Chains A and B, each alone.
Chain A
Amino acid sequence: AAGVIQSPRHLIKEKRETATLKCYPIPRHDTVYWYQQGPGQDPQFLISFYEKMQSDKGSIPDRFSAQQFSDYHSELNMSSLELGDSALYFCASSAGQGLGEQYFGPGTRLTVT
């Protein structure tokens, strides 16, 4: 069965640079969620999209922006990167059927040096 795809899997950037993370949800899933997991921490919700519209927003810095495209893939854009942005970024998708089921991708490990 198809799973959530995230690219790249690993990314190394320098401070003040920009990074773009991509997420391809499971086919026919219309909802995408982004989570950030710092070292030794639990995942924290950043932002979500339903049918290409932002549906909820968590503790996402103003330096970050995201969108969902017509093919339902999503991109998380991160600018003016800081050392503290080093984390594992998960994307999850769901079919939006009210069943509380989210399927997680393998994550993108971002290292800011």
Chain B
Amino acid sequence: AQTVTQSQPEMSVQEAETVTLSCTYDTSENNYYLFWYKQPPSRQMILVIRQEAYKQQNATENRFSVNFQKAAKSFSLKISDSQLGDTAMYFCAFTLRDDKIIFGKGTRLHILP
């Protein structure tokens, strides 16, 4: 069975700083997908970034980038130049192709003015 672990329940950083959210996962599969979802107070699930396990290159989306270490089963999210609008709950997630998504417990991120 696959599991996703987020070891940081809550984090706070100053606006404009860089912050890294940690995530580890466990699977015996070789082909899978990893995601970071953002859930603001509206509780909408917003896809931040997606990584395909067979791609060695780390995914980036504007200020968001990941550090994907397949051998270590690690998938961290880096947010550069953090903004007040980045305040949200962030979920690390895993899926196999068209399978269900398995979420971590989440990291609540506060961006301080």
Contact = CB atoms under 8 A, between A and B. Distances in A.
Interface stretch (A14-22, A66-74, A96-104): A96-104
The prevalent SS among residues of B at the interface is loop
Interface in B2-39: 32-33
A95 to B, nearest CB: 9
Interface of B: 32-33, 43-45, 47, 50, 52, 91, 95-106
A25 interface: no
Interface of A: 31, 33, 35, 37, 41-45, 48, 50, 56, 58, 88, 90, 92, 94, 96-102, 104, 106-107, 109
Given A104-B45, A107-B43, A98 B103 contact: no
B44 A56 contact: no
B95 A100 contact: yes
B46 to A, nearest CB: 8
Given A90-B45, A100-B52, A106-B44, A33 B96 contact: no
B98 A45 contact: no
A42 B106 contact: yes
Contacts of B101: 33, 35, 43, 45, 92, 102
Contacts of A92: 101
A97 B97 CA distance: 8
